[in-house]
Structure 1
Amino acid sequence: MLRNKQSKSLFPNQFLLRLTFINIIVIASFIVLSSWAIYNTACILADGLVTVNNQKQAQFESTLLQYLWIFSISTIVIGSLIHFYLTKKMMYPLNGLIESTKRMKQGQYPSAIRVESHDEIGQLISHFNDLVQQLKDNQQHRQKLVSDLSHEFRTPLSNLNGYLNALKDGVIEADQKLYQSLHGESKRLISMVEQIEQLKEWDYVSKQTFSEKEPIDMQFLVEQSAQMFHWSLNKEGIIVNVQVEPGIVHVDNGGISQVISNLIDNAIRYYLGPEPIIIKGETLKSGYMLSISGTGQSIPIAEQERIFERFYRIDHSRAQDLGGTGLGLAISKEIIEHHNGKIGVKSEGHYHTFWFTLPLC
């Protein structure tokens, strides 16, 4: 095992030596061929231009050959040393990249590697640093979310367990108010289970390519998705105004329906009233644009750019009360970008418009 670790740690040096050895062979081959050509050319020219006896001709050729050997060997040695030094200097950042990768394999998050150049190696290291930071942020968000959910599960479970034990032992008698309370606690548990399911959904969506696309009319898709919220809208007393034009897009039916449902659900979940929710679809030169507008809690300008990030929630306490995980909008963005579209939000005080565009067929 120790030998294996040592051999792995020597990988950069072994690669550098192999690279230098190959370079020496190439340089030496060119120098030897060039020297051989120069030697033969010089001998022919000297024999043709100057009349000398055989002894002087042999002495000339011997001296020329000696100098060419000295020149060739010196060039190979000096060139190889310079090549080794420059290559080692260029590969130095890769050593840090390898060590950081080993730490990630062990479950650690290494500190950012210093970027000393803007060439291909520098870009690779820069992207690696961004990747490590993204993974670290995701892990922290996941741990925080799991911690929040664990804490939230404890309260309704304790309440349910206490009331059920009291009912079983005959300590209290059930009435309508008690049943409503128990029903409320069960709804909270169901909501939190749905949040966990949404985490699984994110992992699934992030790996999809949505290759099974087909032409579909956005008017039909929007009206179908809005109809599924009919009962929730009536219960909350929310008026919805649907103004959708026909438009054929080449999309994955389930994926885009999910985006529309996420945005409508988001508008209902954070609705403050009294204005109606407006769902508007129109055909533009750049593609088909769908927007869902309504009143809700204000979104600070600094946070509007982050609202589509994974696990991000503006008001943590309010999102907990409403069952938000900070994944719905991130999932929507992932799906839209898989369809070569764009998604965003426009906010003016308490009035917000979430929109997305898709290319037309």
Structure 2
Amino acid sequence: MSPNKPYMKGIWRTGIFWELTWVNLAVIVVVIIIAGFSVKEYACFLANDMNIAGPFMQSSFDETMDFYLIRVSIIAFLVAVVIHYIWIRRIIIPIRMLSDVTKRMSDGEEMRLVPITTRNEVGLLTENFNSLIKKIKRSEELRNKMAADLAHEVRTPLSNITGYLEAIKNGVIEPDKNVLHSLHGEAERLSKLIEQLHHLSEREWNQYLDAKPSNPANIKTIVNHMVSIHQMKLDQKHIQIEVAVEEAAFHITEDTLKQIVGNLLDNAIRYGIENTTLHLKGKRRKDHYVLQVEGQGQFIPEASRPQIFERFYRVDTSRNRESGGNGLGLAIVKELAERQDGSVALETDGNYHQFIVKLPSTAML
């Protein structure tokens, strides 16, 4: 069925139809009267001037002229009405479609585009309306994306803080200066993320992600800090970790590097195999810095590997849901790396995985 068909019914019941109809009818009637009167008078003038008809024939000539003028006027009126209906329908249908879609949107239904049926100002209005719908959808997607990103980033430090505090409360570990320092750092990061929730807009969120630090961030210090934060999780799964990270200072905020390292570690631990060893490496190359987390993990099918960095993607939905994963960690790593003109990659044989982040030399001191 044509998308316009539902809007063709009851056109004559619309207010704009009758407003335009009365105006056009008035114009048509006036034009027909003026044209008919002018033609008749001119014909009579020619007949009299050229002595074509006598007094008796003049009356017959006038009647004939009246007959044909009336018939032509009726035909012209009917043709004008048909043209008027076709023309007015081309205006009213897109307006009714716009009105209907706007009402549906106000009632909470899904936003949808309106087909462009004309190339006049009404068509331009429809095109502008569609552009607005696309921008609204894009803004909604970005807002949902930002909310999901923030929720994910809030959950990570919060779970670390909660885990350590529970362990201290239950006497599993003793609170020392290093543990308290790490917890304080996570609490500060959590505070900054929560602050972003009060200013949740695309512009401010992008500014937060692209912010430049006042002081350079040391990758080795950040890696050691994030490893200490995740140490309890490593111990719970009986996973050892070997760290070999070369010194490098970056023109990137510490929060950004903490998110990258933290998300990689969190992902590796969550889907890692118990009683194995993780390797966290960092090497400075000529034109980039390579940060690499590798180890044995849950099987990743070949078909899933190209999608592993996509938002909300899960290799095994049921198993990931049980582990608490939401498919955002690696996607955030990818976005943060690419914002620094870097890249991410996965090299795997299915069971042994290497997650590689490359940051360009332009981001380093």
Per the shorter chain, which TM-score range? 0.5 to 0.7
Aligned residue number for residue 317 of structure 1? 329
Q: Deviation at 1:274?
A: 2.6
Aligned residue number for residue 274 of structure 1? 284
Give the Cα separation in 1 of the matches to 2:73 and 2:121: 33
Aligned residue number for residue 103 of structure 1? 104
Instruction: Decide whether the 8 Å contact of 2:146 with 2:205 is kept in 1.
Output: no
1:278-336 Cα shifts (integer Å, max 9, x gaps): xxxxxxxxxxxxxxxx6678xxxx99xxxxxxxxxxx942464699599x89xxxxxxx
Aligned residue number for residue 186 of structure 2? 185
Q: 1:157 to 1:322 in 2, by over 3 A?
A: farther
Q: Deviation at 1:82?
A: 2.8
Instruction: Decide whether the 8 Å contact of 2:149 with 2:328 is kept in 1.
Output: no
Instruction: Decide whether the 8 Å contact of 2:116 with 2:123 is kept in 1.
Output: yes
**Which amino acid is 1:184 matched to?**
G
Aligned residue number for residue 34 of structure 1? 35
After superposing the two structures, state which structure 1 stretch, 184-193 or 140-149, moved more. 140-149
Q: 1:150 to 1:105 in 2, by over 3 A?
A: same
Say how many residue pairs are matched. Answer: 260
Instruction: Decide whether the 8 Å contact of 2:286 with 2:361 is kept in 1.
Output: no
Matched, 1:76 2:77: yes
Aligned-pair identity in percent equals: 27
Q: 1:43 to 1:352 in 2, by over 3 A?
A: farther
Q: Deviation at 1:50?
A: 1.5
**Which amino acid is 2:38 matched to?**
A
1:176-231 Cα shifts (integer Å, max 9, x gaps): 1221231232133034235436633627999xxxxxxxxxxxxxxxxxx98x6344
TM-score (norm: length of structure 2) = 0.52
After superposing the two structures, state which structure 1 stretch, 197-206 or 121-130, moved more. 197-206
Instruction: Decide whether the 8 Å contact of 1:192 with 1:323 is kept in 2.
Output: no
Q: Deviation at 1:35?
A: 1.5
Instruction: Decide whether the 8 Å contact of 1:195 with 1:323 is kept in 2.
Output: no
Q: 1:166 to 1:51 in 2, by over 3 A?
A: closer
What is the correspondence of 1:204-215 to structure 2 with a 5 Å cutoff? none
What is the correspondence of 1:93-172 to structure 2 with a 5 Å cutoff? 93-116=94-117, 121-122=122-123, 124-150=125-151, 152-154=153-155, 156-157=157-158, 160=161
* Partner SS state of residue 14, structure 2: helix
C-alpha RMSD of the superposition? 5.1
Instruction: Decide whether the 8 Å contact of 1:166 with 1:172 is kept in 2.
Output: yes
Q: 1:128 to 1:230 in 2, by over 3 A?
A: same
| Structure 1: runs of 5+ lacking an equivalent | 1-8, 207-224, 241-260, 278-293, 304-314, 330-344, 355-361
Q: 1:205 to 1:49 in 2, by over 3 A?
A: farther
Q: 1:353 to 1:176 in 2, by over 3 A?
A: closer
Give the Cα separation in 1 of the matches to 2:143 and 2:165: 32
| Structure 2: runs of 5+ lacking an equivalent | 1-9, 223-246, 262-281, 292-305, 308-326, 346-357
Q: 1:229 to 1:275 in 2, by over 3 A?
A: farther
* Partner SS state of residue 199, structure 1: coil
Q: Deviation at 1:275?
A: 5.5
Matched, 1:229 2:214: yes
Give the Cα separation in 2 of the matches to 1:148 and 1:92: 42
Give the Cα separation in 1 of the matches to 2:111 and 2:202: 29
Aligned residue number for residue 308 of structure 1? none
Aligned residue number for residue 47 of structure 2? 46
